[in-house]
Structure 1
Amino acid sequence: HTRLPPKSRIYLWDYSDGDITKVRDNYFEFKGNVKAVLYILSSDDDPLYFEFKRILQDVPCQMTTKDLVLRKYDLPSDKMHLYFNSVLNLVCGLLGKMGVRPWLLSEELKGDLYVGVDTRPGKVATFTLIDNVGDYIGEARRPVRGSKVERDIMRDTIIQLIMENLRIIPRDRPIHLIVHRDGDVYPDEEQGLEEAISSLRQRKLEVSLTLVSIRESTPYRIFKCDDSNLAPCPPGVFVKLSRHMGLLASAGWPLIKQGLARPLLLEVIRNDRPDYDLQDIVREIYYLSFLHWEGIVKKLKMPITIKYADEYAVFAEKEIDIIGPPL
């Protein structure tokens, strides 16, 4: 169970006209007693967003806007559920950053470690690590020259992530490492993963690899054919295109009332485990797409491996080293 602190432990620090000096001074004066911060901005694109993130990077913090706060007074009664859903997402986001798990998997995933990889071309590559019960473990970031992760960077980062987390991996059998790459997988990245596996083998750690490319920008849409009529598909639908490729609708009707969900294009680049087939890969990506707090009515939902890596890249690009999951 989770309980909010009493009102005597909740403090309000105001700011106006873009001047956050008072907030900054209060935070650094009472930093040792601040457990989390919720800050209210004027809009979604408020330039103070990243300034707050920079100041508060050592403490879990969650952003909302004044529009959400005032929404309660603007919506008709039959639309009030939209407000409550927004508040629920907001609270789940803050609690998630504080280490609370609002969502649980019904059973363990088949792999041992799940790594998400994303890049900001010419700037930074981010890696996030999830375990087989969906817990967020940590992240790493590295500078890159282009769109791909260089071979040595991929090798060294994967080795570091595994060696720093030996306590959560099995020692009596090969480690099953599953890597989700946002977008295309480059030959240098595959080579870097192979070199990481070889290096770990020299340290008496056997690793089997499953490497999956996950593309969110695709021209495809999935429909349900009902009595010769085309209708939006429900979430969880998978269309198999080949032995190694398919489309996954991670969102859909009836959660999405207008428009069509955008499916993910999944391609298995390498799979060392015959007991971990395409159906297993797709199912787990679908499960992982529900473990972050983002609103359920989004037209596209990425698994947390990629979603966290993508969000970290935004902050890493601005040299903001935030604490906890980045959403």
Structure 2
Amino acid sequence: MEGKYQVHEFTEPSLLIGNGFEVKHFELLTGLKQKGVMDQNRRVKYRYLLDAREWESIARREGFPFADQLEKRSEKLGIRLEREKGGKKSILSFTNSNQLRMELKRLENDLKCLTVIITSKKKSKDYYQIVKQELGGRLALATQVITTETIQATNDPKVKKNAKEYIYMNILLQIYAKSGIQPWLLSEELHSDCFIGLDKSREEGKHAAGLVQVVGKDGRILWSNPIASHDSGEIISQDTLSRVVSETIHQYQKHRGQRPRHITIHRDGLGHREEIEWLCEIFDDLGIPFDYVSIIKNTNRRMAKWNPNQKRWENADGIAYIQDNLGYLCTTSPRDHIGMAQTIKVEKWCGSQSMKDIMEDIFALSFMNIHALNKSRLPVTIEYADKSAGFYNRGMLPQMGDPKALYFV
């Protein structure tokens, strides 16, 4: 107890990878290389689209060594990457946006699988949205953009071996995430059966409810689709919430063979009384208890703890300060030159779970952002809901894509 707050310190969760092997988050790179990913014996068909001006700088006489290395490493992780040959249709001109958009449209009958686009770092920024709109939003194809500079780094003797391994692993994790492949799970059960991350994104007058479901007590992602809506303002409508809840329960039943006994909703930003009233009606009709929790990403509060042995302040990752239904949680430990870690603010608006259990689940879910090795500050529910809502409003997400594919990472 410190002042008016109860203080709880949570232990970093262990993660399950291939063959049920347990690792901590900092051990992921080594562990995955040794034991592979959780979902093994899977095949992913993919192909390349290459910037004509960049092709010569990454190709060799013997072929395309970067692709060969990527496939070799993926095979060791338990996932076979099967490259489709595109011939001359794989070479595109990244010279202006209108021409590129037309070239991508002409290829729509030839593109049937995950597509890796290779161009320069500058062009990737200039044309990223066009690629995502035409292939992701329009054709429901998962796409992975890799820059020429990244590929060259994997062949640069000045770049350390471990740094190269990080490059390959992060690319593979993004490909897996876009293919519905779960690389790791939580080893210990969460307190709630199912989590719904909700975010309302607004851009140029358009609104969309982005969401992701983290199903079961192991953090596995089951469903990640935007719910298109024409709601005005920040409040998600009753109809949209009804569709979100019913689809969540349906997907959970398909995966688990039974209905969830409890659902926790993580609402990005401020909570809204209107949403809670509608959700109470929806869940009451369905006979399922729920908790509604708002999570504010950016607060004016920092958190640190005093180390008496070293006589210095240290980051307080895993520590929660709780007062009644309000709490502050530190989920990261940035390097000293960055400063003290920024906390996230958590408020429970309704439900039966304790704040301690709610905060502990949020901390565990911050280790489940599966598209990269680097640790996220936010729980996967909020991190991915925020990303998907933003992608949807820019026309970069399909309405009827693979519900397990994370197109937005």
- After TM superposition, the score normalised by the length of structure 1 is 0.82
Cα 1:24–1:84 shift into 2, 3 Å: farther
Cα 1:294–1:238 shift into 2, 3 Å: farther
Matched, 1:262 2:339: no
Matched letter for residue 115 of structure 2: V
Cα 1:151–1:167 shift into 2, 3 Å: same
C-alpha contact 1:181 1:212 (8 A) present in aligned 2: yes
Aligned to 2:262: 176
C-alpha contact 1:125 1:143 (8 A) present in aligned 2: no
Measure the CA separation in 2 of the matches of 1:125 and 1:61: 22
C-alpha contact 1:247 1:263 (8 A) present in aligned 2: yes
Using the TM superposition, give the Cα deviation of residue 267 of structure 1 relative to its aligned residue in structure 2, in angstroms: 1.5
C-alpha contact 2:303 2:316 (8 A) present in aligned 1: no
C-alpha contact 1:115 1:178 (8 A) present in aligned 2: yes
Matched letter for residue 345 of structure 2: L
Using the TM superposition, give the Cα deviation of residue 73 of structure 1 relative to its aligned residue in structure 2, in angstroms: 5.9
Deviations 1:155-192 (A, max 9, x none): 443234324643346758x7201100001001111111
Q: 1:212 aligns with which of 290, 293, 296?
A: 293
Aligned to 1:203: none
If asked which structure has higher relative contact order (CA below 8 Å, sep 6+), I would say 2
Matches within 5 A, 1:34-53: 34-43=112-121, 46-53=125-132
Aligned to 2:212: 128
DSSP-derived class of the 1:47 partner: helix
Cα 1:7–1:53 shift into 2, 3 Å: closer
Deviations 1:281-308 (A, max 9, x none): 222212211222355556x521111112
Aligned to 2:191: 110
Cα 1:169–1:177 shift into 2, 3 Å: farther
Measure the CA separation in 2 of the matches of 1:311 and 1:112: 23
Using the TM superposition, give the Cα deviation of residue 318 of structure 1 relative to its aligned residue in structure 2, in angstroms: 2.3
Measure the CA separation in 2 of the matches of 1:59 and 1:286: 32
Q: 1:86 aligns with which of 167, 171, 178?
A: 167
C-alpha contact 1:126 1:310 (8 A) present in aligned 2: yes
Measure the CA separation in 2 of the matches of 1:262 and 1:296: 20
Measure the CA separation in 2 of the matches of 1:198 and 1:8: 50
Using the TM superposition, give the Cα deviation of residue 22 of structure 1 relative to its aligned residue in structure 2, in angstroms: 4.3
C-alpha contact 2:293 2:346 (8 A) present in aligned 1: yes
Aligned to 2:146: 64
Using the TM superposition, give the Cα deviation of residue 230 of structure 1 relative to its aligned residue in structure 2, in angstroms: 3.9
Using the TM superposition, give the Cα deviation of residue 154 of structure 1 relative to its aligned residue in structure 2, in angstroms: 2.6
Deviations 1:45-91 (A, max 9, x none): 723212111222222222233332333466845x5534432332221
C-alpha contact 1:153 1:192 (8 A) present in aligned 2: no
Matches within 5 A, 1:208-287: 208-227=289-308, 229-233=311-315, 235=317, 237-253=318-334, 256=335, 258-260=337-339, 261-272=341-352, 276-287=353-364
Measure the CA separation in 2 of the matches of 1:145 and 1:93: 33
Using the TM superposition, give the Cα deviation of residue 199 of structure 1 relative to its aligned residue in structure 2, in angstroms: 2.6
Name structure 1 gaps, 5 residues minimum: 201-205
Deviations 1:248-275 (A, max 9, x none): 222214xx45313322111222222xxx
Aligned to 2:49: none
C-alpha contact 1:214 1:267 (8 A) present in aligned 2: yes
Measure the CA separation in 1 of the matches of 2:220 and 2:230: 26
Measure the CA separation in 2 of the matches of 1:304 and 1:10: 35
C-alpha contact 2:325 2:349 (8 A) present in aligned 1: yes
Measure the CA separation in 1 of the matches of 2:130 and 2:388: 16
Name structure 2 gaps, 5 residues minimum: 1-39, 41-77
Measure the CA separation in 2 of the matches of 1:226 and 1:164: 46
Using the TM superposition, give the Cα deviation of residue 218 of structure 1 relative to its aligned residue in structure 2, in angstroms: 0.4
Measure the CA separation in 2 of the matches of 1:70 and 1:221: 39
Aligned to 2:272: 186
Cα 1:199–1:160 shift into 2, 3 Å: farther
Cα 1:156–1:191 shift into 2, 3 Å: farther
Using the TM superposition, give the Cα deviation of residue 215 of structure 1 relative to its aligned residue in structure 2, in angstroms: 0.8
Deviations 1:72-117 (A, max 9, x none): 466845x553443233222101111112111111133232221000
Matched letter for residue 64 of structure 1: I
Moved more, 36-45 or 283-292: 36-45
DSSP-derived class of the 2:192 partner: coil
Deviations 1:16-65 (A, max 9, x none): 31343445434x2323xx43112234337723212111222222222233
Give the alignment's Cα RMSD to 1 decimal: 2.9
Structure 1 stretches (4+) deviating beyond 6 angstroms? none
Q: Percent identity?
A: 21
